[in-house]
Amino acid sequence: MSILSVAQEVAILLSQDEPTTLFSTTDPFAKEIRTLANESAAVIGETYDWQILTKLATVTGDGSDTSFSLPDDYDRMVMKTNLAGSDSNIDLVKSYDLDQWAYFQNHGATSVPGHWLILGGEIQFEPAPALNVNYSYYYISKNVVSGNKATFTTDADEFVLPERLLKLDLTWRWRALKRYEYAEDMENFNIALSKAITKDKGVRILTVGRQRVPYNVRNAYPGPLGP
């Protein structure tokens, strides 16, 4: 369903005239909805690590570079991110903060095979990845609109996440914008959002038996404790 079709359904719910276009008109309602639609789409995308927005990126070392650009559509890392090189099954350790990162840069990384951090819009490694060694990681794309776009720009654009969420979110946001009562509409959206997240997670597998040590278990504190 296009963003225009979603807007037309929202207009009916709000007792407004159905817009014939959103992006080539000066109609106040159409302008409000297209602005709210981009805000709503971004917020829904940021709420959860949706499967459809989860992408895989790979960095290939040259033996000297320690900084690598993030993907053009990068929004954030998945909630749990591990980086392991193609030459090792041991994960790199993510630096907890900038102070720890500065320590490793000044004194050398003390954990094998090294550390990583996102800084200055790039993913940083210490030490530099070896020649032809690949590091892969999953991230969440900011492109919540069809055609690999982050925002709606044409009437034909489609929301890549559940359209019902967009419709329900637009309904309460428009009412809030107009200072109308919107609590029930917002609650309906939150319920639908919770159900959509549960559905996106899929079925959880219950393991019966003795607990096993996770494959990526590591020391409680991987860095140095002393000066």
Asked if residue 214 has pLDDT above 70, the reply is no
Token pair of 77, please?
């890392």
Q: Is 183 exposed, middle or buried (0-12, 13-18, 19+ CB in 10 A)?
A: exposed
163-177 and 28-47 helices cross at what angle (nearest 10)? Answer: 120
pLDDT band for position 203 (50/70/90)? low
Residue 136 pLDDT > 70: yes
The Cα 102–Cα 107 span in angstroms is 8
Q: Highest mean pLDDT range out of 28-37, 70-79, 113-122? A: 28-37
Q: Distance (Å, rounded) from C-alpha 131 to C-alpha 65?
A: 10
pTM comes to 0.83
Query: Among 49-63, 120-134, 196-210, which is the least confidently predicted range?
Result: 196-210
Query: Using CA atoms, how far apart are residues 210 and 99, in angstroms rounded to an integer?
Result: 39
Tally of CB atoms within 10 A around 107: 10
